[in-house]
Chain A
Amino acid sequence: MKERVAIIGIGYTQLKPISPEVSFREMIYEAAVKAYNDAGIEPKDVDTFVAISEDYYEGTAIFDEYVPDQIGAVLKPVHTITQDAITALAACVMQIKTGIFKIAVLEGHSKASNIVYPSHIDAFALDPILVRPLGFNPIFLAGLEMQRFLIETGNTEYHTSLVVLKNKRNALKNPIAAYPGEISIDDVLSSNPVSLPLKELDISKKADGAFVIVLAKESIAKKLVDKPVYIEGIGWLQETPNIERRDFVNAIYLQGAANMAYREAGIKNPLEIDFAEIDDTFSYKELQHIEALGIARFGESGIMLEEGYFDFDGAIPINVSGGSLGCGNLHDANSLRGIVEAVLQLRNEAGERQIENAEIGLVASWRGIPTASGGVVILSNRE
């Protein structure tokens, strides 16, 4: 199918550290109702649904069972993709591109607050034979990577702290953000050591929330809504699950995913994009990802950040929404939050956060510790 796939509806809830007043069903229902309203369609108009979840984040074996009711997908083609939201988005895009499905819905959420021992769950993802028995809190992996990354690239902890400052400040303009705030470089540098050089304020805190988006093939999108946002290119890649063989300096998974996405979108120079929502689960990750995407050359992301390139009013604003550092870490739903922000920007509906003349946006994801897996999607409002 030659037509592009467009996002025609978005729905989301407030992001909060805890959400005891709603069950996951009720939380997702709210996002779904808003998304269908936004797209001007009903669940019965939808041909296929994709949901994102991981059993151990939810505390249920086969969470896929509990997916259909709150998104209106009962007795319809639904499946779960246990991957980041961009890879799950690719599943929706590919289904529409077969020509058989016209409208698709994607759902992602986080009830991270319901996990009593989060580091034990993270540790459960480590290789059971070679790594887990070492007994480290799995966050040590971020510490190792940050150490190597800073040494090899010449970026510094000043730069990583600047990422935290920028994103939390950006989040002040985002009404749904969970952790907005005005902090100083010193606050970050002197925060509690966790796995040095990783410190407490380098780490995004978990939050709860739900997102639902509606997609349609171009010809239908144009009939249904005034401002469809088009998916120009998408890519995703697995580097390797083996920590020992991993590149600790370059985010290979994002380089590979970006190549796929840029090629499909016809982008020859990464600097063609107008803004980006890039995974910042840890402060240094934003810099590492910026370099992997080719937006900065090797070792230069820190300097460019310092010079204001990635600020709200810079040449390529990055994480204007506040990223995970400002909004909260939603596990695999992080990039869905990024995609929703990109849609708002491209529709000119981002309020105080609106970037001028936004035409092409990029969203990049990472699945978090201990993975080397992520995706890139390029969105535009070009007709």
Chain B
Amino acid sequence: MQKVAVLGAGLTKFSRRAKETGKELAFYAAKMALEEAGLEIDDIDAVVCVSAPDAFDGVHMKGEYLSDGCGASKKPFMRSYVGGGSGVFGIINGWYHIASGHFNTCLVVAEEKMSSSMPHPQGIFNAIYDQFLERPLGVNLLWIFSLEMQRYMSVHKIPLETIALVAVKNKKNGLDHPCAQEGIPGNYTVEEIVNSEIMCWPVTRLMVSPVTDGAAAIVLASYDFAKKFGKDVIWIEGVGWCLDTSYWTNRDLYYPRYVEYAARMAYEMAGIKDPKKEIHVVEPYDPFAYKELHHLEGLLLAEKGEAPKLLEKGFWDRDTENGIPSSPSGGLLGVGNPIAAAGLMKVIEIYWQLKGKAGKRQVKREVKRGLAQAWGDLMQVGTVVILGK
């Protein structure tokens, strides 16, 4: 198997509504990634695009539409799609382009333009549910998250205030992210989070990530190609992904076993036997406050039901010295949630942390290996990537 390196990353500002079209957002991110890598588009052998539902941009076969913004004209181009997990899946898709020996370089672009759908992008999520058994009930997206949150809280007896701490932490971390969406990061108290408007109890407004437009991109290269760049290259050490059954009402939602399976696959590939010791920084997907804790347990970085207790002790804080900093970027709650681009933003955060380029967000403890994870579909997909120096 070929080793795969990350050579450059690019991000656009995240905003509720961007003037740019999806193509333009993709272009900004792609160009920035190429510039950091010191490459031109002609140096890129293949392009991968990831983006969540076509309905947001309002274009069927969205991958085709975005391909020119992604730099894919006259190139082998592929769009993969695992719902919200796509952001991290993009790098996995790019990884196998190179690890297979088929290509030397690959550009991965994640784009999301949620603002196009009217009256509100949330309406699109009505169509993720089963058309026969669920949509006729007048479903909305928040139902499934609140049902899962309730189950998680109920099985482990976690108080709402503890979950709110995730939002407090991430929104504070997000203050230091230059791309953060206006009005999203901030210094909040637990009371403010818990007492914010009830959306779908137990989910309150400040526990949910916003609707966002944005794009992200990374450049991947084979070992031979990356050799020219010297020792400071960041490597992909492990990847994993897993999809659970669509019959989500038949599953116990308190534990994301699909995240565990994906994590195990990645740990095995990376040769990691003790993730709690060998992962130094983590970016778990946090579209909702409780999700970060849910995923940290699925990633085997905390025992079932223990992640909230560790949160209270500051184990996941950015400046922890003995813990594992979690979502130092600010995550989706602190920066914004342009679904696919958000996942890739988390991967990019791990990349910058490992390179020491995270500025004010740089974690205190030494980091040699980091993990980024995304989740997607109907509480179904876990996608994991482990990067290392």
Nearest CB of chain A from residue B24's CB, rounded to whole Å: 12
Q: Which of A152-205 contact B (CB under 8 A)?
A: none
Which has the most chain B C-beta neighbours within 10 Å: A1, A62, A91? Answer: A62
A98-122 interface bits toward B, Cβ cutoff 8 Å, 1 = contact, 0 = none: 1110000000000000000000011
Q: Which of B62-79 contact A (CB under 8 A)?
A: 62-68, 72-79
Interface status of A137 (Cβ within 8 A of chain B): no
Closest A residue, CB atoms, query B62: A82
Which has the most chain B C-beta neighbours within 10 Å: A61, A66, A96, A100? Answer: A61
Q: Are B78 and A87 in contact (CB under 8 A)?
A: yes
Closest B residue, CB atoms, query A60: B127
Q: Are B96 and A94 in contact (CB under 8 A)?
A: yes
Q: Within 8 Å CB of A242, what residues of B? A: 68
Q: Are B78 and A128 in contact (CB under 8 A)?
A: no
Q: Are A236 and B76 in contact (CB under 8 A)?
A: yes
| Interface pick from A72-80, A139-147, A300-308 | A72-80
B51-89 interface bits toward A, Cβ cutoff 8 Å, 1 = contact, 0 = none: 011110011111111111000111111111111000001
Other-chain residue from A55, A93, A237, A241 in contact with B53 (beta carbon distance below 8 A): A55
Nearest CB of chain A from residue B257's CB, rounded to whole Å: 7
Interface status of B240 (Cβ within 8 A of chain A): yes
At the interface, is chain B mostly helix, strand, loop or mixed?
Answer: mixed
Complex alpha-carbon distance, A62 and B50, angstroms: 12
Which has the most chain B C-beta neighbours within 10 Å: A69, A74, A252? Answer: A74
Complex alpha-carbon distance, A107 and B37, angstroms: 36
Q: Are B83 and A62 in contact (CB under 8 A)?
A: yes
| Number of chain B residues close to chain A: CB under 8 A | 65
Complex alpha-carbon distance, A266 and B212, angstroms: 47
Complex alpha-carbon distance, A256 and B75, angstroms: 8
Q: Are B74 and A239 in contact (CB under 8 A)?
A: yes
Interface status of B244 (Cβ within 8 A of chain A): yes
Closest A residue, CB atoms, query B65: A241
Q: Within 8 Å CB of B99, what residues of A? A: 94, 98, 100
Q: Which of A271-317 contact B (CB under 8 A)?
A: none
Closest A residue, CB atoms, query B379: A65
Q: Are B77 and A79 in contact (CB under 8 A)?
A: no
Complex alpha-carbon distance, A237 and B47, angstroms: 10
Complex alpha-carbon distance, A144 and B279, angstroms: 57
Q: Are A125 and B79 in contact (CB under 8 A)?
A: no
Q: Within 8 Å CB of B101, what residues of A? A: 1, 97
From known contacts A62-B53, A81-B81, infer whether A125 and B61 are also in contact, taking CB-CB under 8 Å.
yes
Nearest CB of chain A from residue B250's CB, rounded to whole Å: 11
B196-221 interface bits toward A, Cβ cutoff 8 Å, 1 = contact, 0 = none: 00000000000000000000000000
Interface status of B124 (Cβ within 8 A of chain A): yes
Q: Within 8 Å CB of B66, what residues of A? A: 241
Q: Are A61 and B80 in contact (CB under 8 A)?
A: no
From known contacts A65-B83, A75-B258, A79-B243, infer whether A98 and B76 are also in contact, taking CB-CB under 8 Å.
no
Q: Are B246 and A66 in contact (CB under 8 A)?
A: yes
Complex alpha-carbon distance, A73 and B376, angstroms: 16
Interface status of B225 (Cβ within 8 A of chain A): no
Q: Are B75 and A61 in contact (CB under 8 A)?
A: no
Which has the most chain A C-beta neighbours within 10 Å: B58, B77, B257? Answer: B77
Q: Are A128 and B59 in contact (CB under 8 A)?
A: yes
Q: Within 8 Å CB of A122, what residues of B? A: 60
Nearest CB of chain B from residue A262's CB, rounded to whole Å: 14
Which has the most chain A C-beta neighbours within 10 Å: B83, B102, B125, B243? Answer: B243
Complex alpha-carbon distance, A121 and B195, angstroms: 43
- What are the nearest 3 A-B pairs in CB distance? A97-B100, A238-B77, A94-B100
